[in-house]
């Protein structure tokens, strides 16, 4: 804009140059593509990006049409504030939430697309009926500059509307804080209550083991190794665990570990290290041990019962 030798007031004048026509066709195409992308993209984040692109192009159109203040406000308010708010809520609500494909009303999508097409045909046919002359140009209106001219209109002719809009903004801000404010229904649990609950529930009492194998990897998706070399599933974040994103400690690595143990054992002249067991095997063993313990308990109970009977 500023690179042109013509003064600002003569821009956006009566006649449209070929440059403006070219700008219109190129940017207009991109704006329509952006609009289509907003509707058709599966993910809401992509839709938001497409919409931001369309809004920036609309800002360029405003600038080309002599609305310098609105062009800047469009970028600052729309692509800056409103779209950021959209993205903020998207992050809050869940980025991956895609549209459900279940149709509550049968054929609603096609009907809606048909309605949209009908509206478009109606609008464009309606505009086709109208004959407009050329631009009158804003040279006279923008003579003292776009912003002073707008301000003098806004604070004289439209001052009541301006005040009402101010009230509307205040009400909207208060309403939004009121809507998103959440009253706490139940008392916050104290640390002591939480500790008691954990003990009663028989959950893990000490802190969970940290992920990563010392001196080799400290990535959070890599489980720590137990003393026998098998991976400790508990050391990986529950989210990663439920997604199945635990990186396996490779068999090769375990074998190398076993070899080191073996060599150490040989050096010290002790019996060879049995090697790491896989978690399934260990679970089986643990279950077997539990069962054996239970059987012992049963046996002692039965023994005491028999003694009691004998005493009778």
Q: Out of 2, 3, 6, 99, which residue is the one contacting other proteins (CB under 8 A)?
A: 99
- For other proteins, the binding residues in 169-188 under the rule CB under 8 A are 169, 171-173, 175-177, 179-180, 182
User: For residue 185, what are the contacts with CB-CB under 8 A and spacing of at least 6?
Assistant: none
Site for other proteins in 228-287 (CB under 8 A): none
CB of 35 to other proteins, least distance (A): 4
| Residue 58 vs 225, nearer CB to other proteins | 58
Q: Which of residues 10-29 bind other proteins (CB under 8 A)?
A: 12, 16, 20-21, 24, 28
81 contributes a contact to other proteins by CB under 8 A: yes
Q: State the Cα–Cα distance between residues 156 and 140, nearest whole angstrom.
A: 19
* Cα(7)–Cα(1) distance, integer angstroms: 10
Of 7 and 269, which CB lies nearer to other proteins in the complex structure? 7
Which of 145, 144, 166 lies closest to 155, judged by CA?
Answer: 166
Kindly state the DSSP code that residue 77 receives in the 8-state scheme.
Answer: I
Which residues are CB-neighbours of 211 under 8 A, at least 6 positions away? 218, 219, 220, 221, 222, 223, 224, 235, 236, 237
Q: Should residue 7 be labelled a site residue for other proteins when binding is judged by CB under 8 A?
A: no
Q: Which positions from 125 through 164 interact with other proteins, judged by CB under 8 A?
A: 127, 130, 132-138, 140-142, 146, 149-150, 153-154, 158, 161
Q: Least distance in Å: CB of 43 to other proteins?
A: 9
User: Is 73 strand, coil or helix?
Assistant: helix
User: Is 54 exposed, middle or buried, given 0-12, 13-18 or 19+ CB atoms closer than 10 A?
Assistant: buried
Binding-residue total with other proteins (CB under 8 A): 86
Between 146 and 230, CB nearer to other proteins: 146
Q: What phi and psi values does residue 139 have, to the nearest 5 degrees?
A: -55, -45
Q: Choose the binding region for other proteins from 100-108, 196-204, 240-248, 270-278 (rule: CB under 8 A).
A: 100-108
Structure tokens at 111: 């009907």
User: 7, 102, 274, 308: which one contacts other proteins (CB under 8 A)?
Assistant: 102
């Amino acid at each position: 804009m500023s690179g042109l030798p013509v003064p600002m007031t003569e821009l956006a004048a009566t006649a449209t140059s070929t440059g403006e026509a070219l700008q219109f066709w190129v940017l207009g195409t991109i704006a329509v593509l952006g609009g289509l992308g907003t509707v058709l993209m599966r993910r809401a984040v992509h839709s938001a990006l497409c919409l931001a692109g369309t809004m920036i192009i609309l800002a360029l159109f405003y600038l080309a049409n002599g609305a310098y203040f609105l062009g800047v406000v469009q970028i600052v308010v729309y692509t800056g504030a409103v779209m950021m708010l959209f993205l903020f809520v998207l992050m809050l609500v869940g980025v991956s939430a895609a549209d459900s494909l279940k149709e509550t009303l049968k054929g609603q999508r096609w009907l809606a697309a048909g309605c949209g097409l009908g509206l478009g045909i109606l609008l464009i046919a309606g505009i086709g009926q109208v004959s407009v002359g050329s631009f009158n140009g804003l040279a006279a209106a923008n003579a003292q500059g776009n912003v002073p001219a707008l301000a003098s209109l806004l604070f004289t002719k439209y001052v009541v509307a301006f005040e009402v809009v101010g009230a509307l903004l205040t009400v909207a801000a208060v309403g939004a804080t009121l809507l998103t404010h959440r009253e706490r229904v139940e008392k916050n649990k104290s640390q002591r209550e939480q500790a008691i609950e954990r003990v009663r529930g028989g959950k893990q009492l000490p802190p969970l083991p940290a992920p990563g194998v010392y001196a080799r990897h400290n990535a959070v998706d890599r489980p720590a190794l137990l003393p026998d070399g098998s991976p400790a599933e508990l050391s990986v974040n529950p989210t990663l665990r439920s997604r199945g994103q635990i990186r396996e400690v490779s068999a090769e690595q375990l074998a190398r570990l076993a070899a080191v143990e073996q060599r150490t054992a040989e050096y010290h002249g002790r019996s060879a290290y049995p090697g790491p067991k896989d978690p399934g095997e260990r679970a089986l063993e643990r279950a077997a041990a539990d069962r054996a313990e239970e059987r012992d308990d049963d046996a002692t109970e039965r023994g005491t019962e028999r003694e009691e009977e004998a005493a009778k």
